[in-house]
Amino acid sequence: MYKSGKRYFDFKTYLINRFEEKVYKVTIDAGFSCPNRDGLVGFGGCVYCDGRGSRYRKNGKVIVPIEEQIKLGKEFYKKTQNAKKFFAYFQTFTNTYSDVKTLEKIYKIPLKDNEIVGISIGTRPDCIDNEKLDLIDSLNKYDKEIWIEYGLQSIHDSTLKFINRGHSLQQFIEAIELTTKKNIKICVHIIVGLPYENYDMIMETAQFVSKLPIHGLKIHCLLVLKGTLLEKIYQKEKFRLLTMDEYVKIVVDILEILPQNLVIQRLTADGYKDIFIAPEWAKNKLKVLNAINKELEDRNSYQGKFFKS
Ligand code: SF4
């Protein structure tokens, strides 16, 4: 059992262990675009991506300066949770998609804040190189925790092609190899329930991830959202979506084969209520999380039970 009472190593427990109190995530939209949307890699983006970005862009508002976003995020958690420590998450689109000088200016903003204990930079595996990683590594001088997050989604190139990811498994492997040479923590994202992926394919992705030299994992449930390419494919092909029971059992199967020290940052998808189409059950995040906890209890199981190094 972890401090949170969970049977898996959740991010909350990790942060409390590391920083001796609860740490709250402040999300940042630094104004980046995505090479899979603007034509550099592809057009239209990943089929499931709604392309709206942060709540600023969604509402057609101007993106406020990063300093202001941090201030607003911190104020919210201070007021509602009496928060004292924060983690800055560069979340919107591809947060390494610029030149090194610009990136340095942007990344430094939260690092100068004494209440921010770390940053996390979300990006694509084909949008990183040694120069950018050297820059990110150099941020360790601020004595904060530095994470990078790579979207993998699936190890199957046929699926990556179908969902229009615009990169291959090989590109992901190269990004991981480059990153492990630096002092940067790595979190990987995968999606469970991708069109035409069967159980074995999902577990092959999980097995692959379980052997990676990484520190964190986010497991997302595939959502069909209004206005996405996936919505059109779903309407036309009516591919099968997982039931909640199937999703829960698969997630627990995945947790069982992961190493115990891999931090689980996410176990389902979140938000999107205004453009949500399917699967209906995924709207209720808490219910899904409770069902995962119950399945672990019923099996008397835990993260890493069947991990093979
Ligand atoms: S890489 Fe991310 S931002 Fe770009 S299209 Fe895919 S999901 Fe959207």
Q: What is the pLDDT of residue 1?
A: 60
Output the CA torsion 104→215→175→129 (10° steps): 10
For residue 92, which atom of ligand 1 is closest to its CA? 3
Q: Kindly state whether residue 306 falls inside one of the protein's structural domains.
A: no
By the 8 A CB rule, do 26 and 69 touch? yes
In a domain, 36, yes or no: yes
* Minimum CA distance residue for ligand 1 atom 2: 93
| Domain that includes residue 89, residue range | 11-298
Pocket around ligand 1 at a 6 A CB cut-off: 34, 36-37, 45-46, 49, 93-94, 124, 151
Position 305 in a domain: no
Evaluate whether residue 5 is within a structural domain: no
Using DSSP's 3-state secondary structure scheme, residue 30 falls into: coil
Contact call for residues 222 and 189 (beta carbons, < 8 A): no
Collapsing DSSP to helix, strand or coil, 20 comes out as coil
Number of domains in the chain: 1
Left if phi > 0, otherwise alpha if psi is -120 to 50, otherwise beta: which for 88? beta
The packing angle between helices 244-257 and 199-210, to 10°, is 30
pLDDT of residue 5: 81
304 in any annotated domain? no
Distance, in Å, from the CA atom of 111 to the CA atom of 146, rounded to the nearest integer, reads 10
Atom 6 in ligand 1: residue holding the nearest Cα: 46
45: CA distance to ligand 1 center in Å? 6
Under a CB-based contact definition with an 8 Å cutoff, are residues 160 and 169 in contact?
Answer: yes
- Position 307 in a domain: no
Q: Where are the beta strands (DSSP E) in the chain?
A: 23-28, 85-90, 116-123, 145-153, 185-192, 216-221, 224-225, 263-266, 276-278
Residue 73, both tokens: 């995020």
Kindly list the averaged pLDDT for each block of 10 residues, start to end, along the chain of length 309. 83 94 96 95 94 78 92 97 97 97 98 98 98 98 97 98 98 98 98 97 98 98 96 95 98 98 94 89 96 98 94
What single letter denotes the amino acid at residue 275? I
**Alpha-helix runs per DSSP H in 211-277:** 229-237, 244-257
The dihedral through the CA atoms of 48, 51, 54, 58 has a sign that is negative
CATH code of the domain in which 80 resides: 3.20.20.70
- DSSP helix/strand/coil, 65: coil
Domain annotation covers residue 282 = yes
Angle between helices 130-138 and 169-179 (to 10 degrees): 40
Instruction: Report yes or no on 6 lying in a domain.
Output: no
